Amino acid sequence: MNTKLNTSDYTILAIIYAVNIFFNCIDYYQEGNMLIEYLVDLPVAALLSFVIILLFIHWLIPSYIVKEKKYGHFVFFGLLTLIIPGMIDYTAGFWTGGADWSKFPKWYDFLIRSVFRLSDDAGFPFAILLAKKFYEGQAQLFNVQKQQKENELKLLRSQIDPHFLFNNLNTLDALIDSNTNKAKEYINRLSLIYRYLIRTKDAEVMELVEEMELAENYIFLIETRFGSDYNFEIRKDTSFEDKFIPTGAIQTLLENVVKHNKVGVQGAIRVCIEVTDDQLTVVNDKSKTQQAQESFGTGLENLKARYKLLSDQEVQIINTDLKFKISIPIIKLSTES
C-alpha cells in the first residue's frame, strides 16, 4: 500500500476539517465561548491533528510497520506523537478559556488528557485515509495481477508457435518435390491456420466452432505428412455454439499426439476427438514403441498453466499403457468470472 498522500487525499482532509470546524463553531456559539477561542483553539486543533496524521502516514507506518516491523518502536513513538501535540492543544485551550492556572492538572493527569486530546480530531480523518489507501491498493493490485495474467498468457502461447512452424516447414520442404498439387493445398491450409493464429494472437479464449475449424485444417496437415499412420475421428454430442476453449488448445492436443506416438507394426494410431457439453476430450492409442516420459511436454504443460489462469477448472489426464486421454473443460463465458 502506498502511504504517501496525493491530491485527492489532501482534498478529503480539507473537506473533513472544514466540516469539523463548522460544527465546532456552532458548538462554541451555543456555549458562549470568547472570540479568542475561535481564533486559537480551532486552528490549533486542526493544525496539530493534521501534523499527527502526516507523522503517522509519512514516518511511523512506513518506518516501523512496513519496513522494519518494529512494533514496540511504533507504539512508543506513536504515543509521543499523540502526547506532545496533545499537550500543546490542551495548554492552548486552558489559556484561551481563561481558566485558573492553579487548577492546571497534575503531570500524570495532564499526560493522560494529552493522549486523548487530539485522538478524536485526528482519528476519523486518519481512518478515512487508511480506508481510501487500502481500496486504492486493492485496485492497483488487481490491475497488476490482470496485466501479469495477460503477459503470462501471451508468453505461454508464444512458446507453442515456433515449434509448430518448425515442424510444418520441414514437412512442406519434403512435399514440394514429391507432390506439387498436394504442396499447394498444404500451403493453403497452413496459411488458414496462420491467419487464424494472427487474428487471435491477443485472444485468451476462442469459440469452439472456430477451434474445430482449426482442428480440421491441422488434421489435414497431419494426414498429408503421415498418410494413413493416424486415423482421426470427431464425435459431436453437443452444439459448438456459446462454448469456448483456450485459443489454440486443439492444436496443442493434436500436436501432442504426433509428437509422442510413432507408428509401428501395430497399424494406425486411432485418435478420437469427442465434444460434450462440459468438456473436449482427445483419446489416442499409444504406440508400443513410445518411450515412457516423466513430462507430458511443453505444449500440455503450457495448456495446463493457461487453464489455471483462465478458469478454476483443471485439465484431466489419464495415461495408461494403451491409451492416452486428455480432457479440457469447456469455458462458458456466461458463468465464468
Helices (H), 227-292: 249-260
Phi, psi of 329 (to 5 degrees): -65, 145
Task: Quote the cell numbers at residue 123.
Answer: 482519528
**pTM confidence score:** 0.53
Beta-carbon contacts of residue 81 (< 8 Å; ≥ 6 apart): 52, 55, 56, 60
Q: What pLDDT is recorded for position 279?
A: 93
Specify the pLDDT at position 144. Answer: 63
Q: What is the mean pLDDT of each run of 10 residues along the chain (337 residues)?
A: 79 93 92 91 93 91 88 92 93 90 90 87 90 86 70 60 74 83 90 86 87 92 86 88 88 85 77 93 81 56 82 88 92 61
What pLDDT is stored for residue 148 in this prediction? Answer: 66
Q: What was the pLDDT predicted at 175?
A: 81
**Interacting residues of 113 by C-beta distance below 8 A, sequence separation 6+:** 86, 90, 105
Q: pLDDT at position 80, please? A: 92
User: Which domains, from first to last, does the chain contain?
Assistant: 7-148 (no CATH), 159-329 (3.30.565.10)
Euclidean distance between CA atoms 290 and 262, whole angstroms: 7
What's the CA gap between 110 and 124, in Å, rounded? 23
pLDDT number for residue 292: 40
Sign of CA dihedral 285, 287, 288, 294: negative
